[in-house]
Structure 1
Amino acid sequence: MRRLVFELSGEHETLPKSEIIACIEAYGWHYDIIKSYDQVIIMDTDSDVNALADRLALTHNILEIILDCKNDAEDILKEAQTADIKLKEGETFVVRVNRIKNYGSITADFERKLGAVFWHRGYPVNLTQPDAVLRALITEDRCIFGRLIRAIDRAQYDERAPLKKPFFLPGVLMPRISRAVVNMSRITEGWMLDPFSGTGGTLVEAGLISHDIKVVGCDIQKKMVYGTRKNLRHYGTNYHVIKEDSLNMGIKTGSVDAIVTDFPYGVSTPIAAESLEVFYRNALREMYRALKEGRYTVVICKEPMEKLLKEAGFIVIETHAQRIHKSLTRYISLAKK
């Protein structure tokens, strides 16, 4: 086990932590959460850091911890004088300080002062191409200091922004959230289904995680089926997309390894049912039928879905609320068959 620090993005209060836990559990690795702070998690784990970094979307950096102390400047500098920063002889370093939100009273020149402590201890500085990046995270009443192991390539998600895809419609999930909810499904191989595939955002992200993941999408609208195929083809994903009623899918019972979907809201999308509630209920029953025993679904909807998920037979694990604007909040529920 190794003590790691996860520097989380501030895009959502609870999703980043759930995404990390889901990725670790997906591969059967072990973990023990030592402490959680605002945008920082300290964890003992035997996880493959590179594999984690390649999957995560809502984390900025993964560090190996050096010290955990009060976020007072004098305390940090005092601790730094004796801290083992794990540098080999001749290795260069640079110090970076991230003051999360408005925690602490660290000033702009603190980065230089902290770096000077290690320089006076005989470690050489390199501001442009250092062998080691040492990061101090100022959060709540703590300073979490560690050596950078992997930075997450979050720019890739910007390159897959909805407007940059061959087929685009407004109101879809952004790629980072799409990747996070796919990760929450704990899929590593096999078939992932999106019964309301829309423009295929979740399918694209699942397919890019691994060639061992095969994606299948359904949609009742022909233009969505063609658009999804276009997007998946663009990213070289291993896919099947079919036009059919997602309330009565031609998919074998207990055959898919994960289901992730963002329910249509019934505003500009045709709903094949007498009401939204009936539509949701029938859709969840069909999803339950298609999913393998012990596997996970992530359902995104404008309404809380816990009650209907339980009625369909699922065990609800957690729900996250994501406020989009004044008249729309998305509810992201993780459930298990």
Structure 2
Amino acid sequence: MRRLVFELSGEHDTLPKSEVSGCIEAYGWQYEVVGSYRQALAIRTDADVSILAGRLALTHHIMEPIFECSADEEAILREAGSADIKLKAGERFLVRVKCVGGHGRISPQFERRLGAAIWRRGYKVSLTNPDVVFRAIVTGGVCIFGKLIASPDRAQYEKRAPQKKPFFLPGVLMPRISRAIVNMSRIREGWMLDPMSGTGGILVEAELISDAIHVIGSDIQKKMAYGTRWNLRHYGKNYDVMMQDSLKMGIKTNSIDAIVTDFPYGQSTPIKGSSLEAFHRDTIKEIFRVLKPGRYAVIVYREPMEKLLREAGFNVIESHEQYIHKSLTRHITLVRKEVV
């Protein structure tokens, strides 16, 4: 197994790390967390980096670590002056420094000093066309220095922003968050369901991961079912969409490989059932029924759902909060249907 360092997005404190774990576990790869910092995660794993880079949405860069030391300029320079930086003869390099949470004791000029320390060892610098890029992440009192080996294409998610899709409504999940929670579901292949698909943004991100993933969208509103189909037709090919009630789905028991859904918030969405709590309880029971044992679901709502999820039989793995504005905090919960 090799050591990897993930330079994580600052969009959320905990979701990026959970997304990395979900991607690795989706393929059955082994991993061990050896360091967890603000916006950085160090692991030992046998994972395929190219596959991870193609799936991850909340990771900026993936590095092969070279050294770790205290977040002190002189300590970093000493290590850079003696560490095996694995540059081949004739290779040109570039250094970038990322200071998480402000520069602290690291000066704005330090990037140049660090590059000079390596240059003095006889290596050539290229600011425009380097063969190797080194990154130094300064976070939590440490500096992690490594060789850049992959960078996920985060620009693609901006191209799929909600307002740029054929069918759009405000208030939906942004594509990077949608991709992250799909990755948390550990889906690799098979059938993924969103029983309240709305505009279909979650399903778009799932379908684009792999041709081996077949997504199913459904919604009780005709307008939403058509909107889901419109967006999926624009981006993908492995999908089915139906208009159905999430309280009574026409889907076989134990037939779905992953479920990811953002529950409607009720302000402008028709809710069937005697009460909002009854709607939540009965929909979660249906989600539990159709999900295969041993598989995962990710549930998003404006309030905590752990109690209802446990009552339905799920094992709650983890929960995250995403602050949107003063009247909305999303609760993102990962659950597993255990094998009995």
TM range (shorter): over 0.9
3-state SS of paired residue (1:64): strand
Structure 2: how far apart are the matches of 1:112 and 1:104? 17
1:235 alignment counterpart? 235
Q: 1:106: how far off?
A: 1.1
Determine the C-alpha separation between the residues in 1 that align with 2:129 and 2:237: 36
3-state SS of the aligned residue for 1:81?
helix
1:183 corresponds to:
183
2:224 alignment partner in structure 1: 224
Stretches of structure 1 that go unaligned for 5 or more consecutive residues are: none
1:55 corresponds in structure 2 to 55
Residues 215-260 of structure 1: per-residue CA shift (max 9 Å, x gap): 0011011110111111000002311010011110100111110000
User: 1:295 and 1:285, CA in 2 relative to 1: closer, same or farther beyond 3 A?
Assistant: same
The Cα shift of 1:293 comes to 0.7
Q: Tell me what 1:172 maps to.
A: 172
For residues 250 and 325 of structure 1, what CA distance do their matches in structure 2 show?
Answer: 36
Is contact 1:66-1:84 (8 Å) kept? yes
User: Which residue pairs with 1:128 in the alignment?
Assistant: 128
How does 1:293-312 map onto structure 2 within 5 Å? Answer: 293-312=293-312
1:118-157 pair list within 5 angstroms: 118-157=118-157
Structure 2, gaps ≥5 residues long: none
* CA distance in 2: counterparts of 1:24 and 1:260, whole angstroms: 18
Deviation at 1:152, TM superposition (A): 1.2
Deviation at residue 320 of structure 1 after TM alignment: 0.4
Give RMSD over aligned pairs. Answer: 0.7
1:251 matched residue in structure 2 = 251
Taking structure 2 as the reference length, the TM-score comes to 0.98
Give matches, 1:54-133, under 5 Å.
54-102=54-102, 104-133=104-133
Give the equivalent residue in structure 1 for 2:285: 285
| Cα displacement (A) at 1:191 | 0.3
Q: 1:6 Cα shift?
A: 0.5
Aligned-pair identity (%): 66
Write the distance in 2 (CA, Å) between the matches of 1:236 and 1:71: 46
Q: What do the CA deviations read for 1:150-198 (whole angstroms, capped 9, x no partner)?
A: 0111000000000000000000000000000000000000000000000
Q: Are the counterparts in 2 of residues 321 and 332 from structure 1 also a CA contact under 8 Å?
A: yes
Indicate the SS of the match to 1:265: coil
In structure 2, the residue matched to 1:208 is 208
Residue type of the alignment partner of 1:274: S
d(CA) in 2 for partners of 1:51, 1:274: 45
Aligned length: 337
CA deviation string 1:124-162 (max 9, x = no partner): 111101000000111111111000000111000000000
Shift of 1:105: 1.4
Which amino acid in 2 is paired with 1:292? K
For residue 5 of structure 1, what is the aligned residue in structure 2? 5
Code of the residue aligned with 1:6 in structure 2: it is F
What amino acid does structure 1 have at the position aligned with 2:140?
A: E
Give the CA deviation at 1:104: 2.9
Letter in 2 for 1:179: R
Alpha-carbon distance in structure 2 between the residues aligned to 1:224 and 1:309: 25
C-alpha separation in 2, matches of 1:323 and 1:80? 39
Q: Report how far residue 61 of structure 1 moved.
A: 0.3
TM-score norm. by structure 1 comes to 0.99
- Secondary structure of the residue that 1:287 maps to in structure 2? helix
